Structure 1
């Protein structure tokens, strides 16, 4: 039975949590402070999940999360608070101190569902033996050559539009900003970078970018990282054209980075496996579909699963999680937003110039949208010579 430790200095909060979890499938423990929490921790062989308040009078919740990350890295850490400074939220989200953040007062169904989902995802991820690597993976690292350009614009108080033009060139920093904006603290629920920056604010954005400066990709991996970004950036442009052609309306903000974010798993795998991934996968002259087969053969997992896992972990909108998880499998029965996934699938084929292969995922996406290859020809012709 899974063990959950709840820590909060407010007695009424602990009573509410006891009522909520009383008849569920977990063995729950409750502490009103750090001393009691340590006693409980030492009395048990293992705690599966820690849910702690951020602001407590005698011991900061952020410090507690850091202690548990060091002492018990396999414990899932969750932050719970009615008030926390922006600095605290930024630290908890960006440094993987907390896998999720719930804001008081919480929604009972949402917190139960989220906890079950976290356990389920953890089980799935442990099965492919990547847990230890993920624990050490603090955030998706950005390409260092873009930092100076971004920081210079921010320091000169340029407009959000000008700043976002530069940020969008970097898949990793884009994902980190969207990740924070979609956390429970900001609750932006957007896939649009400009809206995300507006939610966070430019002053806080400066802190975020500076905090990521220490997380630079190794020079040897920069070229591989840039190739992934170029594919993602062009795919996003094609996605916009195809979406607007199909729906005859502008792309909604919540899915505004669907094409840009769909291959975030490749960036993550490049960071985790470094030269092995760059040499044995990215430098191979094979189709995008064959890449996932090769990844599973070499690393027991593919970039779509890795990317979907992290987007879910970072509380991205479900639409973007599905795009990342299923853009190679648009016919998967678990997909809710089938047409959106199909549009991204076709966009990746057009960008890679692999539409003539007529693979099963390409044909499946056409079938979902009820269109044929002729429908795509104007968009194909626009991009094939770029």
Structure 2
């Protein structure tokens, strides 16, 4: 299999609306009392047509409905989008079609409708398995609702993933280990585990600056990361990416397209894409504000605000930043495909040797990868390697 084929071709759809804004969230999500579903459906379909005109013939290997809260979309809109993608590009056999959802009772009622629309993988934003933590995180569901939603999702979809947030204020290693054991007892094939971080512009950022929110110290957070990786490995869900664990074969194919630096179309407010056309790999970006995006699509047929060629230097930086998140690392085939050379020719040889000697990197015939120690310190490693 070639590097290009291995990366696949994905389509990302961004639904920007939520019932409420979580205090830790810096995603492009907005609360609106009412949404004109017909206008939004027509605009998403128009955006797909424009992306297909630019990309040319492709075969889609994954579709991802992200947000925001895509489970607030009517199943009819999801079905129309999937049908349009199939008509424009064609869906490969077994195409992974993921939709992100919240576990509130109202949204869980739509699961069967999403499955009939063609969604075959649900990503459920559980975030925590106790009510006190869920309240702190600003979630609108209870732990009981989360467990009920997981049962409904398991019955409706052949594939299921859910998220948890850890390294919360005051969370002891023992408490997290117990919560994680409870999650593993649910038998997940894929689980995403994110350390709580403070993002600028969020409610938590203001509380942190005022000293009202204190996160674990760096050493304590690192110990939690290591213990989490061990616990998941022992349970048969090894890390295939820094924050993502899966049983072999259950990895998220769409996210692998990002991390393996494949092409993907991004449609919806603020959506990014990487598309190769007119002889260059291009970074596309759509207008961020929902109403402005909708108006732009209705006036000009698409919401693009940018479609700039990605320079070789930018492609190298992006490949390294994305690929070293993966346990498998960056293949030589991918580097050859994008840049026509191997890691030794593209990156400072002395820095590669130093990082390899210190046990943070491995360079061999397969390619370049960060060790477990390197992935734990990835920001510092990237700063040194690309600086």
Please report the TM-score for the alignment, with normalisation by the length of structure 1: 0.29
Q: Which has the higher helix share?
A: 1
Normalised by the length of structure 2, the TM-score is 0.29
Q: Which has the higher contact order (CA 8 A, sep 6+)?
A: 2
